[in-house]
Amino acid sequence: MENSSPRQLEIVKLARTSGRVSVEELVETFEVSPQTIRKDLNDLCGRGILKRVHGGAMLRSGVSNQAYESRRMVAAEEKSVIGAMAASLVPNNCSLLINIGTTTEQVALALRGKENLMVVTNNINVVNILHNEPGIDIIVTGGIIRRSDSGVVGDAAVEMIKRFKVDYAVIGVSAIDADGALLDYDYREVQASQAIIENARHVILVADSLKFERSAPVRIGHLSQLDTFVTNGHPPKQITQICKENDVELIST
């Protein structure tokens, strides 16, 4: 980060913490003009450190995801609302697969109080959220526990997922491409997500609107493979059209 001013270094630090920064927030934080902040952002984006988005900038996507705790903070309120909506679609007395992700964890939080659920997951955080729920039985896949986010990945996890045929699946992704491709960073996690999609009767994708602005290198699948997509705000027209053409129920909170 040579040639960066102290303010620019702080801006990047804030972006790494929250995933995204806005011009309005930076103006208030540094007590400078919007023009000054825009100049800083243009400089940082021009050097490939950040990526411009409407109203601000965000960390540039690469081949690795940002830290898990930081991801939890990004669009936290939106993820909570999305999680509650998705959980409302899951009835009592059914089986459910849940994959790794900060938004799927919000779904798990909203599932508390449900009755007679069987939840199969490769997400240790989901286990911690639900293990004391009297109406929910939890099955954890085997495999390697990824220290960065407590996700269980690897061939053993995939093989165990394939043993089930559940009523519902709730999945999260790292990015959604304009053509409807669902993307992630770790091919081992992708293999587990693909197995979840293949072995559920009804697949629900939960993803906040920032996922439309990101990219990731590994393909999970396509929006057309889903039954329901729960997001926030106003999805891009192309995404809306893909959902319409493929009978995917689009729910925007």
CATH (domain of 47): 1.10.10.10
Residues 133 and 222 in one domain: yes
Q: How far apart are CA 182 and CA 19, in angstroms?
A: 20
For the cut 80, the answer to whether the pLDDT of residue 36 exceeds it is: yes
Backbone phi, psi, residue 67, to 5°: -55, 145
What is d(CA 109, CA 94) in angstroms, rounded to the nearest whole number? 17
Looking at 41, 60, 79, which one is the last position of a domain?
A: 60
Q: Are both 143 and 228 inside the same structural domain?
A: yes
Q: The dihedral of CA 165, 136, 127, 61: what is its sign?
A: positive
pLDDT in tens, 156-168: 999 999 999 999 9
pTM summary value? 0.78
Other beta carbons within 10 Å of 113: 11
CA–CA dist 193, 190 (Å, integer): 5
Identify the domain containing residue 22 by its residue range.
6-60
Q: Where does the pLDDT of residue 59 fall: very low under 50, low under 70, confident under 90, or very high at 90 and above?
A: confident
One domain for residues 120 and 56: no
Tell me, yes or no, whether 89 and 188 share the same domain.
Answer: yes
* pLDDT computed for residue 216 by the predictor: 87
Lowest mean pLDDT among 134-138, 151-155, 199-203: 151-155
Whether residues 196 and 102 share a domain: the answer is yes
Average pLDDT, the chain: 91
Q: Is residue 1 part of a domain?
A: no
Contact 155/118 with Cβ under 8 angstroms? no
Q: Which segment of 19-23, 89-93, 115-119, 137-141 scores lowest on mean pLDDT?
A: 19-23
Q: Does the pLDDT value for residue 232 go beyond 90?
A: yes
Residues 201, 128 within the same domain: yes
